[in-house]
Amino acid sequence: MFINRQAELSLLEERLERGKAEFIVIYGRRRIGKTALLLEFLKRNGGIYLLARETSEAENLRRFSQRIAEHFNDGFLEKNPFQSWDAFFEYLHTKAEKRLVVIIDEFPYLVKANPALPSILQEYWDLKLSKSQIYLVICGSSVSMMERLLGYKSPIYGRRTAQLRVNPLGFFGARAFLPRYSIEEFVRAYGILGGTPAYLLEFDDSKSIEENLKSYFQPDSFLYGDARFVLMEELDEPRNYFAIMESIARGKTTLGEIMNETGLERGTVGKYLSVLIDLGFVKREVPVTASRKSRRGRYYIADPYFAFWFRYVHPNEDLVETGQGELLVDIIMGDLNEYLGWIFEEVARQFLIELNKAGELPFRFTKIGRWWRKGEEVDLVALNERERQALFVEVKWKNLGGREARGILKELERKAELVGLEGWEKRYGIVAKGVEGKEKLNDEGWQVWDLEDFEENVKLGLK
């Protein structure tokens, strides 16, 4: 089953149609769906798929020779496999007089076995392949190694014609993985699994969230063990990184709070946070009206799967390891709505971005984010700085009566004055589970959405 990734496929196919030599680098952490994307591309367009293994150079060359020989029906190559990467690239060059798609997956394994490989590739690209009809894709799951290969000091720096970092699917892109859940149940599932296809496939939407969690909290469960596996593959000193991520998951979002929670020094925390941000595990936010350099930055775990794992699983691993996973399920079900408040804010942000792309808001915004100062906070502020227009939105993971909704909107008007956008056109809105009298509020000029609108967004295909 191949779901979504239409933007990524379009990018790859657009490059294919150009008719020039292409050298495309694709990367992203494990389970994100890179291989499924590449295999779907090959299914539609044809080509050769070569999967590297963590084995010897000679063994990978032998396996690659076999795949290429099968593709070209080359009996000589089948009996006489490549003995070097020079022979491999020379052969591809001779076959690339017409369009030839070659995808090398898990490329970092090849570099690990032979660190000179990027230099060899550079030479062949510069002298031969760049003048051919080759469509070469290299792909890797080690984000840190792939980014080093793209870096200034790498021999292949500047040779790539395109690069693509594959990220988790957003809420609306992930919805199709669990279609039998109601939209409310899917918010819960998304808060636990995030948008990584491999994790979404682990839930059975014929079962309740609670039943799926009981399977999650088994010592041999993929969902239970994979967070640690993915992090330890990327991080050299996992103990301190884990401490930082657990403190963020507990709601310690400022640099000072993280320092106090972990007992680590400012310089150490800053260094580790920088690495976590580069790898996509943590994101830093500043008030939407502030400069990126603002000292009022807050840190959040970027992926719901890891946010959930560090909030509930990592601190309670002893319960899982001793076969008491059902007790952990009870703990989580009692706290889940509080946790989902933050998740729902992120989902609401994605929803407004989709409406913005579709032109279904009163104005097009160019910037969206949280705002906070001195104990006051607005969940989402969308700005069109050129036209001096602003939309202020409160997000509530609850069902609101009409009177309560009006109270929230009036309070939002008060807080909007603190943001300091004098002379701007201002609008006010709510995103909630459900809002009584939503139509009447919209008729009065407020912007009010609930889960019914989310479901409609999915049906319209705004993803």
Q: Is the distance from CB of 289 to CB of 419 less than 8 angstroms? A: yes
Angle at 147 between CA 7 and CA 141, to 5 degrees: 65
Host domain of residue 384: 360-459
* Same domain, yes or no: 254 and 183: yes
**Domain for residue 134, yes or no?**
yes
Instruction: Flag whether pLDDT at 463 surpasses 50.
Output: no
* Same domain, yes or no: 306 and 378: no
Report the interhelical angle of 222-234 vs 238-249 (nearest 10°).
120
pLDDT at 215: 96
* Same domain, yes or no: 147 and 192: no
Q: 120 — phi, psi (to 5°)?
A: -65, -45
**Domain for residue 447, yes or no?**
yes
* Same domain, yes or no: 113 and 22: yes
Q: How much of the chain, in percent, has pLDDT values that exceed 90?
A: 85
* Same domain, yes or no: 237 and 160: no
Give mean pLDDT, residues 428-432.
97
pLDDT at 154: 83
Q: Domain end: 165, 191, 213, which one? A: 165
Q: Domain end: 135, 165, 195, which one? A: 165
Instruction: Flag whether pLDDT at 224 surpasses 50.
Output: yes
Q: Is the distance from CB of 144 to CB of 234 less than 8 angstroms? A: yes
Confidence of residue 426 (pLDDT cuts 50, 70, 90): very high
* Same domain, yes or no: 323 and 382: no
**Domain for residue 384, yes or no?**
yes
* Same domain, yes or no: 273 and 416: no
Cα–Cα separations (whole angstroms), residue 341 to 215, 234, 320:
24, 30, 26
Cα–Cα separations (whole angstroms), residue 177 to 35, 47, 201, 222, 298:
17, 28, 7, 17, 31
What gap in Å lies between CA 48 and CA 264, rounded to an integer?
A: 49
pLDDT at 158: 84
pLDDT at 1: 55
pLDDT at 233: 83
Instruction: Flag whether pLDDT at 361 surpasses 60.
Output: yes
CATH of the domain at 309: 1.10.10.10
Give mean pLDDT, residues 207-213.
97
**Domain for residue 225, yes or no?**
yes
* Closest alpha carbon to 8 in 231, 162, 149, 135: 162
Task: Assign residue 436 a region (left: φ > 0; alpha: ψ between -120 and 50; beta: otherwise).
Answer: beta
pTM for the whole structure:
0.90
* Same domain, yes or no: 188 and 155: no
pLDDT (tens digit per residue) in 195-207 = 999 999 999 999 9
pLDDT at 462: 45
Instruction: Flag whether pLDDT at 287 surpasses 90.
Output: yes
* Same domain, yes or no: 402 and 327: no
CATH of the domain at 100: 3.40.50.300
What gap in Å lies between CA 244 and CA 226, rounded to an integer?
A: 19
**Domain for residue 350, yes or no?**
no
Amino acid at 440: K
Q: Is the distance from CB of 362 to CB of 390 less than 8 angstroms? A: no
* Same domain, yes or no: 151 and 247: no
Q: Domain end: 165, 183, 205, which one? A: 165
**Domain for residue 272, yes or no?**
yes
Confidence of residue 460 (pLDDT cuts 50, 70, 90): low
Q: Is the distance from CB of 388 to CB of 394 less than 8 angstroms? A: no
What is the total count of domains within the chain?
A: 3
Lowest-confidence range among 148-152, 226-230, 339-343? 148-152
Q: What is the mean pLDDT of the chain?
A: 93
| DSSP conformation letters of 315-340 | GGHHHHHTT-HHHHHHHHHHHHHHHH
What gap in Å lies between CA 431 and CA 409, rounded to an integer?
A: 11
* Same domain, yes or no: 53 and 193: no
Confidence of residue 58 (pLDDT cuts 50, 70, 90): very high
* Same domain, yes or no: 142 and 99: yes
Length of the chain: 463
